[in-house]
Amino acid sequence: MASSKRSCQKLLIVSLLFISVSLTFLVFSFHPKPDHPEFDDHSQAVAHHHKKPLSIDAQKSWFDDLIERKIFSERIRIGFVNVDDNVKHEYDHMRGQVETVNVDFRPVSGELKWEDFFPEWIDEDARWHEPSCPEVPMPRLEDYGDLDVIVARVPCGNGTEKQGIRDLLRLQVNLVVANLAVVNGLTTGGNDRTVSVIFIGSCGPMQEIFRCDDLMTHLGDYWLYKPELRRLRQMVQMPVGSCLIAPYHKQTGIFSFTDMNFILF
Task: Give me the helices (H) in the chain, please.
Answer: 2-29, 41-45, 56-69, 85-92, 114-117, 161-165, 168-185, 229-236, 245-252
Evaluate if residue 167 carries a pLDDT over 60: yes
Show the domains of the chain with their CATH numbers: 75-264 (3.40.50)
Q: Of 32-36, 103-107, 151-155, where does the model show the most confidence?
A: 103-107
Mean pLDDT of 252-256: 36
Give the pLDDT confidence of 105-154 residue by residue, as tens digits.
Answer: 999 998 999 888 887 766 666 566 676 788 899 999 999 999 988 999 99
Evaluate if residue 256 carries a pLDDT over 70: no
CB atoms within 10 A of CB 48: 12
Contact, 147 vs 79, CB < 8 A? yes
Q: Rounded to whole angstroms, how far apart are CA atoms 134 and 108?
A: 9
Contact, 26 vs 56, CB < 8 A? yes
Residues in the chain: 265
Evaluate if residue 227 carries a pLDDT over 90: yes
Q: Which pLDDT value is given to residue 60? A: 42
Q: Rounded to whole angstroms, how far apart are CA atoms 19 and 61?
A: 11
Q: Please state, for a pLDDT cut of 70, what percent of the chain lies above it.
A: 52
Contact, 77 vs 69, CB < 8 A? no
Evaluate if residue 244 carries a pLDDT over 60: yes
Among residues 211, 80, 92, 207, which one has the least CA distance to residue 152? Answer: 80
* Of 233-237, 249-253, 257-261, minimum mean pLDDT range: 257-261
Mean pLDDT of 211-236: 89
Q: Which pLDDT value is given to residue 8? A: 56
- Average pLDDT of every residue of the chain: 70
Q: How confident is the model at residue 229 (pLDDT cuts 50, 70, 90)?
A: very high
Q: How confident is the model at residue 239 (pLDDT cuts 50, 70, 90)?
A: confident
Q: Which pLDDT value is given to residue 78? A: 87
Contact, 67 vs 76, CB < 8 A? no
